[in-house]
């Protein structure tokens, strides 16, 4: 079942992973093996979670890579569904 207006996964990472551990963005980025710019873009909702990032998050903070990707998929799908009414699509069935 689709979640109602799910948060961007970057918000979840910031609030449930980085802040509770007292990490700075720079420290977290270094630990994840990504640039500070990349992590900052994810945390600020400008980037989504890629399969590679999902593996990194899983190794660093726990949870499965699939669960990280699922959060991104739920977020993306909810936003796409908001535009669904505007789509000009012919139903074939």
- Residue spans per domain, the chain: 9-81
Q: Return all residues near 71 (Cβ < 8 A) that are at least 6 apart.
A: 6, 9, 12, 49
Long-range contacts of 58-62 (CB under 8 A, 24+ apart): 60/17, 60/28, 60/31, 60/32, 61/13, 61/17
In this predicted structure, the answer to whether residue 70 has a pLDDT above a threshold of 80 is yes
Q: Can you tell me whether residue 56 is helix, strand or coil?
A: helix
pLDDT score, position 85:
78
Classify domain 9-81 at the CATH class level: mainly alpha
Quick check: 67 and 9 in contact, CB under 8 A?
no
pLDDT score, position 54:
98
Structure confidence at residue 1 as a pLDDT band (50, 70, 90): low
pLDDT, one tens digit per residue, over 16-66 is 999 999 999 999 999 999 999 999 999 999 999 999 999 999 999 999 999
């Amino acid at each position: 079942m689709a979640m109602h207006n799910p948060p961007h996964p970057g918000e979840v990472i910031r609030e449930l992973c980085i802040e509770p551990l007292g990490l700075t963005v720079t420290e977290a980025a270094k630990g994840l093996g990504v640039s500070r710019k990349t992590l900052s873009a994810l945390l600020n909702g400008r980037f989504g979670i890629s399969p590679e990032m999902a593996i990194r998050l899983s190794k660093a903070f726990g949870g499965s890579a699939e669960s990280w990707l699922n959060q991104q998929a739920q977020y993306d799908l909810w936003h796409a569904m908001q535009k669904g009414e505007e789509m000009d699509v012919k139903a074939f069935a």
